[in-house]
Amino acid sequence: MRYVLDTSALFAMQDLPPGEVFVTAGVIAELRKYEDPRLRFWEDMLHVSSPSPASLDKVRKAASRTGDDARLSPTDMEVLALAIDLKAELLTDDYSIQNLARVMGVRYRGVGMKEIKEVVRWKYRCTGCRKEWDENYPDCPICGSPLRSSRSRK
């Protein structure tokens, strides 16, 4: 069995799952940043790989459609794209990753927490003029204030 793990899955695990375990360089960087002591035991067992540009582009486009683009880090998107490339099960406790995985038909499983129950779509509301947008912008196109994400009611 093949698995792709994100940082949240590794934080929740005591032991790696049996089979081939893949991560991205970004996941390793995050484990180092938080000084996770288990990395020194696991590092030789983790296959570090990068996703294809085509899969990464698919993930970015899907994230833009669901509104998860503002909620996912570049590492999150790479992990999901790698799971697509490897046709592997994604292990993650990150609900935004699970949300997009469900939309894209990628198999996923929670590790320390239960999985999401429903797909969430996000809208973006301006903190200044209160205008609501379907997509995320660096700032409000009308007044320039920051945008905040909220669940779409559609």
Write out pLDDT tens, residues 41-80: 898 899 999 999 999 999 999 998 888 887 899 999 999 9
Interaxial angle between packed helices 95-104 and 74-86, expressed in degrees from 0 to 180 and rounded to the nearest 10: 40
| Domain ranges (residues) in the chain | 2-109, 122-151
Yes or no: say if 149 and 127 are a contact pair by the CB < 8 Å rule: no
pLDDT at 152: 67
CATH architecture of the domain 122-151 equals Single Sheet (2.20)
Give tens-digit pLDDT for 85-139. 999 999 999 988 999 999 999 999 999 878 777 776 777 889 999 998 887 788 9
DSSP for 111-145, please give it: SSSPPPSS---EEEEESSS--EESS--SS-TTT-P
Can you give the pTM of this predicted structure? Answer: 0.79
3.90.230.10, 3.40.50.1010, 3.30.160.100, 2.30.60.10: which CATH number matches 2-109?
3.40.50.1010
pLDDT in the model for residue 66 = 82
* Residue 147, pLDDT above cutoff 60: yes
